[in-house]
Amino acid sequence: MRASLIQIAVDPDETVDSRRQRAAALVREQSGVDLVVLPELWPTGAFAYELFAAEAEPLDGGPTYEVMAKAAADAGVWLHAGSIVERGAGVDGPLYNTSLVFSPAGELTRTYRKIHRFGFDKGEAVMMAAGTELVTVPLPEATLGLATCYDLRFPELFRGLVDAGADVLVIPAGWPERRRAHWTLLARARAVENQSYVLAVGSAGTHADVQQAGHSIAVDPWGEVLAEAGPAEQVLTVDLDLTKLAATREQFPALKDRVLGLPEPRR
């Protein structure tokens, strides 16, 4: 399974529409891979809170939906289009940090509303409503488990995704540079403890005065880094050997040894 991680730069001097078109062009260039992933809230920037309400979109038929659906179909790829600021039902409906996954036909197949909102008592944590559902996406090659940015700090979410059948954990983010060490550490930890591939895709650039970490990373089920981007805009393409995933879980069956009254993972 081949995946391309598009670490797009978020520049406050670039219009949101221009960035949509540029991201779509990058997606189209990935024709021939199986899966393409974009970062969290790349249309606005994950820390550009002042833009959230104005740039919020309906789930179906909004501008990012339309552009990304066409890009997925043009490239013939599964596209995790990162996340958008979703406006829930009604003019004054709640805001959500929502990921969109499109099929190679350009159909919206899954959405995931971010469960753990960052900001403590400000920003996303108070401006957005929380998601409540774990989401997996069955692809022909593997099953994706969806999470977003701050979710990375909550291991129980990922164990739930593995219990639901996930093989590849996909984590778009707008992770700040000042905590980059945690980004790579936690991505590797989630891979090791869940014996899963991890595709963690960050953004580049600076928005709302927050420098982004970049350094998108692909990790195998043993915690080995397959590839890691630098700090600037970059497309990272990796091959995932899914037979290695099955072999890891068979040769070192740690998931079977869980205790604390938790159910055994689904076989």
Which residues have a catalytic role annotated?
40, 114, 149
In the numeric block, which tokens belong to residue 192?
Answer: 């090791």
DSSP string for 26-90: HHHTTBTBSEEE--TTTTT-TT-GGGHHHH-B-TTTSHHHHHHHHHHHHHT-EEEEEEEEEE-SS
Cα separation, 197 vs 219, whole angstroms: 6
Cα separation, 16 vs 20, whole angstroms: 6
Cα separation, 7 vs 98, whole angstroms: 18
Q: Whose structure tokens read 């089920």?
A: 221
